[in-house]
Amino acid sequence: MYACKYDAPLPNADPDNGGLYIPAGFSALVVADSIGKARHLCVRENGDIYVKLSSSNERRKGGNVALRDTTGDGRADIIERFAATSHGSRSYGAGMIIHEGYLYYSSALTVYRQKLTNSLIPTSPMEEVLVDDHNHGVHWHITKPVSFDGKGYMYIPFGGPSNACQDLEASANGSIGGVGLDPCPELELHGGIWKFPAGKTGLRQQDGVKIATGIRSVVAMDWREADEHLYLVMHGRDNLHSLFPNHFTPWQSAVLPSEEFIRVEEGADYGWPYCYFDHMQERKVLAPEYGGDGKIVDRCADKDLPVMGFPGHWAPNDLLFYEGEQFPQRYKGGAFIAFHGSTNRGPYPQSGYFVAFIPFVAGEPSGSWEVFADGFAGVDPIVSTNQAKYRPMGLAEGPDGSLYIAESRQGKIWRIMYQGSREAFGEVHLEEMESHKSMTHIRIPDPVKDDLQKDLPEGERLYLTFCGTCHQKNGEGVAGRFPTLVGTDWVLGEKSRLIDLVLQGVQGPMAVNGELFNGVMPGHAVLPDDQLAIILTFIRQHFGNQASPISAAEVAKERM
């Protein structure tokens, strides 16, 4: 049996720190590269690394990856796949954690576990710990990360599968954003955190207890031993401008709503879908689906607040409280957050794509955040998500206190170490990292100077405003989430079908170029005929598409 030597010296770092920018005194090396679209990860007591891939489906080279270093150079020389399935959720794997000798990992709908054995790959049966057996239809915001409190309980979020519990029929009848259902029926079984007895299998949601509500979408979650609380960073809702152009500017839509860093209190209500947090106003405001305009507070005055808010759409996808002894003392008990990066900040540069650190002072978050690791994207500004070379995703602490980071595009794993003087570490070591806050993928964009669309032709500008946030600047969409517009019969085929689809919206299963999507696109009937005609013509005559234009008269005919 292979085992780590805990008193062994730290391995040599890569000369360029694996391409990362990190504080002075820290160093990094690439543990593995191109293992598949990596999501979360964890490290065993003997140094073995386990990685949850985005897909669970063996046909898509999904499942899990196990890595082992047998030479002591810090790089994995044994890389093996395991626990891929021929069914189940094909994307958005979430959660990878070791608890009481079991390896837990999850997809959007199921939490699994396997008993760890003496071998690298667990040979024990794959057990279903919890199954989300609701008929969701949409699987975007219902991933199942897992945390344990050490007191016999397991915590799992049941995210809200919609943007803001909107009435889709109202959307189809002319309101792009639609009105919100009130009361929101999703809150009965979604939009919250449930607590379950740890160690059991075969669980369903009714076997747990909802401890907090008003929480839209959670991928980043961790238990903090120091104050015995569950913490999470919530994904905020999307598309304020494209859904409610009369109330919100493109700039407001790019920077809001906040990604909320929440200390979960039992019985708390954090406001979703009725409210969202505005970190610039430092308060909850009413969502537009419920009559809000970005300023009205109304029913949100008594909703529970986060401990702090981050700029919108940074996509917080993992949270880790550092408990090791290798890093300087200021990191002890503080929070690392992996920001996966935005997809829908247009017309402004995409943001996030870095790992932040939040110090805790006297048991409370300091209220400020730092850039801890940057350089993942490889480009700045990031106009489209597809330009980013890497997107940081998973965080884990090794048995010696090293920090591991996984990214989701190529499947690269970094190990960050500290080999300087812990006592001498101070503000001077952080000065260079502070300069990274001026990068366009991190700083607050200037409303005029950073508008990447201000000089574009009308068709492209309208497309990017109302369609590009999902279908992307290049029209290729996002695999598993938003379908491509390139070379598909939905775009190039019958005009009336395309016009109806954009006017009325669509929800439910939809096959595009052989790939199945199961989501919601709101109707855009509120836009005038001439603007819709310009958008549809742009789509049919760009991205390599060559089809006849669509006129305002043709849109008006279908609208009748």
The C-alpha atoms of residue 458 and residue 530 are separated, in whole angstroms, by 11
Report DSSP letters for 53-96, one per residue: ES--BGGGT-SEEEEE-SSSSSS-SEEEEE--BSSS--S--EEE
Average pLDDT of the residues of the chain: 91
CATH number at residue 55: 2.120.10.30
Query: First and final CA of the chain: distance in angstroms?
Result: 73
Range of the domain at 26: 17-237+313-438
Residues 380 and 526 in one domain: no
- Tens of pLDDT, residues 385-435: 889 999 999 999 999 999 999 999 999 999 999 998 999 999 999 999 999
Q: Does a structural domain hold residue 345?
A: yes
When pLDDT is averaged across residues 152-174 and rounded to a whole number, the result is 80
Tell me if 283 is assigned to some domain: no
- CA–CA distance, 143 with 218 (Å, rounded to integer): 7
Q: Are residues 56 and 113 in the same domain?
A: yes
pLDDT given for residue 172 in this prediction:
46
Q: With bands split at pLDDT 50, 70 and 90, how would you rate the model's confidence at 439?
A: very high
pTM for this entry: 0.90
Judge whether 245 lies within some domain: no
Do 162 and 109 lie in one domain? The reply is yes
Query: Same domain, yes or no, for 349 and 397?
Result: yes
Q: How many domains does the chain have?
A: 2
Measured between alpha carbons, how far is 51 from 88 in angstroms, rounded to an integer? 18
pLDDT in tens, 289-314: 999 999 999 999 999 999 999 999 99
Q: Which pLDDT band holds residue 278 (cuts at 50, 70, 90)? A: very high
User: The domain spanning residue 536 has which CATH number?
Assistant: 1.10.760.10
Residue 134 lies in a domain: yes
Task: For residue 509, give the nearest of 141, 134, 165, 137 by alpha carbon.
Answer: 137
Say if residue 73 is in the same domain as residue 181.
Answer: yes
pLDDT of residue 470: 84
Residue 266 lies in a domain: no
pLDDT in tens, 54-71: 877 655 567 899 999 999
Omega before residue 347 within 30° of 0, cis: yes
How sure is the predictor about 6, in pLDDT bands with cuts at 50, 70 and 90? very low
Encode pLDDT of 509-521 as tens digits: 889 998 888 777 8
551 and 433 together in one domain: no
Report the C-alpha gap between 461 and 455 in whole angstroms. Answer: 9
